[in-house]
Amino acid sequence: MNDNLLFASVNLPILDSTKATKEILALDSSLSFWDDYRHTQMIPLMTKLGMHGKQGANNYKQGDFLWLDYTPNVIKEWFEEVVFPWTKLKARVMALITQPYVKNYEHIDCERYEVNTRQHKFRIVLQGETDTLYFKTKQGDISAPKIKKAFIMDGGWPHGMYNNSKDIKVTLALGAPWKGKEYYNDIDVLLNRDNYKMPDDLEPYWMK
């Protein structure tokens, strides 16, 4: 079991990040929405019933997850041929767009009652660096390692991100209902939960 992982690289083939980035950034801004909780721009790519805009973040409707018609084929093919066979289910897919020198709010990607349960999130940075992501701990802020692979992070741990680059950061995020696997045989745990302690007060990291 790997419930102790805070950050792990995933040994899967990666997509053509240059092509995917170019096509994502070419999409019309009207297809995105602003997420106040994370302080970032989001573009829905796969949602329940193929819902657009902010409605695409809603997972409570009944129905299948569908690709939005504008999603670049390079991204569709990677998820269909590589990621979904690995996760064993389809889930919400978003592109996260962070402008140069912009900070994402420090937050927790689960409900209060879900803290200290398995809350793994699957990500890949198409443009930018992974080590701009950091986790809040009693020992201070802990940066994620710099890698080029897809990765899993513990979304139930308070974290934030500062894009300290002159370039836009583009990340693909696989969200709910996927919350991780009970067992992995194809990851490398690079940050271990057992080595850190959460801050005592988690209230600053919830949406007000």
Q: Where are the domains of the chain?
A: 5-203
Instruction: Answer yes or no: are the C-beta atoms of 148 and 10 closer than 8 Å.
Output: no
Tokens 């927790």 belong to residue? 108
Task: Tell me, yes or no, if the pTM score tops 0.85.
Answer: yes
Which top CATH class is 5-203?
mainly beta
Q: How far is residue 102 from each of residues 42, 63, 98, 167, 195, measured CA to CA in Å?
A: 14, 35, 6, 10, 29
pLDDT along the chain (208 residues), means of 10: 88 96 96 87 89 66 88 98 95 95 92 91 97 96 97 96 96 93 92 95 83
Instruction: Give the pLDDT of residue 53.
Output: 63
Instruction: Give the pLDDT of residue 52.
Output: 76
How far apart are alpha carbons 127 and 18 in whole angstroms? 8
Instruction: Give the pLDDT of residue 179.
Output: 92
* DSSP codes of every residue in 97-157: EE-TT-EEEEE-SS-GGGTTS--EEEEEEEES-GGGEEEEETTEEEEPP--SS-EEEETTS
How far apart are alpha carbons 122 and 27 in whole angstroms? 23
Instruction: Give the pLDDT of residue 39.
Output: 84
